[in-house]
Amino acid sequence: MKHVISQRFLFIFLTGCFLVCVACEKEEDPTGDEVYVLTVSATNGSVIVVENGDTLAASEKYDFYGSTSLVLTAVADQGYLFSGWSGDVTSAENPLTVTVDDSVGVVANFVEDQDEDPPYEAGDKKVFEFAGNEIVMVYCPGGTFLSNDDDSDSDFEDGPEVTCGPFWIAETEVTNELAADLFNSMEGFQFNPDGGIGGMVGDGFFNKEDRFAHNYVNYSTVKWGDEILMDMGEVLGEQLDIYYEGDFRVYDNRDRQPVKFITWFGAVLCCNELTKREMGGAAEVYDGIDTTWLDDETIADVSKRGFRLLTAAEWECAARWQGDDPSNGAYEYPAGSGLYWTPGGYASGAAAGTSNVDATAAVSVYRYKDGVRPNPEASDVVKGDRAPNALGVYDMSGNVWEWSFDEGADGYNRLIWGGGFVSQHFDLQIAVPYDGMWAGGTGSDLGFRLAMSAE
């Protein structure tokens, strides 16, 4: 039986709390002291409020005469874990001491305790929602399969052996709409429309810089400190995907296309931002991010349940997985296990190798060069008219290349996978990543896909 789990409540309650707090006005009691209001929101848990050692009766609203120090303790319902405070107070501490010297709204955030989840089956889904964007995560049970990075071997079945644990993978590549909304939601950073480094606010730089490309064409970038997050705007009249006009916006008719022109740094920052908004800051996977941020100094704690990039093993596992389906040339591994995997010379979900245009075009957007189909001029909408792979995941081959977290063999660059809309068929082979993309690099056919740890 498939399990579909909705986790939309976090954004709803955070937004609701903000509206309540804005409406709060200071009053005065008969003695002349100002009245301060504490508003508490919690779903799938509760909050205990203690003042001067006394536990106050449970309520969603508390009035205090004059400045007051309080201790707030979040208590999770069964099956849930506390993930952090949001609203007017952001913290992962529990209990949390706050001083109420103004009207304050806090939200206690809770996430499902994965250890108490029912057993998942391949293809089960969790659904999140952020700013109107539906994010569908698909369960992959993992397994052990044979990989091969030698594209001279047409079978791609002779090793090495790779073992991958269970994880969640996004049904589609991250869209322009979601990426723009995530950049708009980032707090504590000054966006400097005049270019240059700009002022530091909070924990880091977040600003725009106009610079020259290698061909001396002037274009715009979004930066964190010295690191580029995304190219945007126009180049010689060609619109990229996203532009800035008081906030980040998407050019017409591109909302559902995969985000492009985004760096590894930009993808990592988007993962953390989405985690913070949906699960609280305590669930963020990536650390080591500051104004002198280097990719090889980025710390990834995959024991946390937040959104992140796929590892190389996870990407290949999800692209190859066929479960108990032996069709379309799949190979069984381990022998006698009843588990089947797509050969590495295929596009993910295809019925034949990538040299077969019909089979490859059924699951991929790429440069067909068959004299019949018109080659794509740009990326197509996610979850378009292509078929998904056996897990129910779209566009793992074609449309755009996808960043993974892993370093390449040289130890300096990052692996990208799957090929894009300007790729030829051999780039779409599952077993052949591009080994050598600079973490600060961008491309007209380079985006990313979300993942989550499952245990």
Q: What is the pLDDT of residues 307-364, one digit of tens each?
A: 999 999 999 999 999 999 999 999 999 999 999 999 999 999 999 999 999 999 999 9
Residues of the chain with pLDDT > 70: what percent? 82
Residue 44, CA distances (Å) to 26, 83, 141, 376 in order: 30, 11, 27, 47
The pair of structure tokens assigned to 281 is 């800051």
Question: Over the stretch 73-93, which tens digit does the pLDDT of each residue have?
Answer: 999 887 788 888 988 888 888
pLDDT above 60 (res 219): yes
pLDDT score of 150:
58
User: Where do the domains of the chain lie?
Assistant: 7-115, 120-455
Q: Which residue has the higher pLDDT, 176 or 41?
A: 176
pLDDT score of 2:
41
At 220, give phi and psi (nearest 5°): -110, 150
CA distance 12 to 18: 10
Q: Could you tell me which CATH number the domain at 120-455 has? A: 3.90.1580.10
pLDDT score of 192:
46
Give the CATH fold of the 7-115 domain. Answer: Ubiquitin-like (UB roll) (3.10.20)
CA 217: distance to chain centroid? 31
Beta bridge partners of residue 451, listed in sequence order: 169, 308
pLDDT above 50 (res 197): no
pLDDT above 90 (res 390): yes
Please report which confidence band the pLDDT of residue 10 belongs to, taking 50, 70 and 90 as the band edges. Answer: very low
The pair of structure tokens assigned to 184 is 């708009």
The pTM of the full predicted model, rounded to 2 decimals, is 0.74
CB 106 within 8 A of CB 39: yes
The whole-number average pLDDT for the span 158-171 is 91
CA distance 121 to 119: 7
Q: Which residue has the higher pLDDT, 209 or 303?
A: 303
Beta bridge partners of residue 239, listed in sequence order: 234
Q: Which residue has the higher pLDDT, 212 or 90?
A: 90
Q: Which residue has the higher pLDDT, 210 or 373?
A: 373
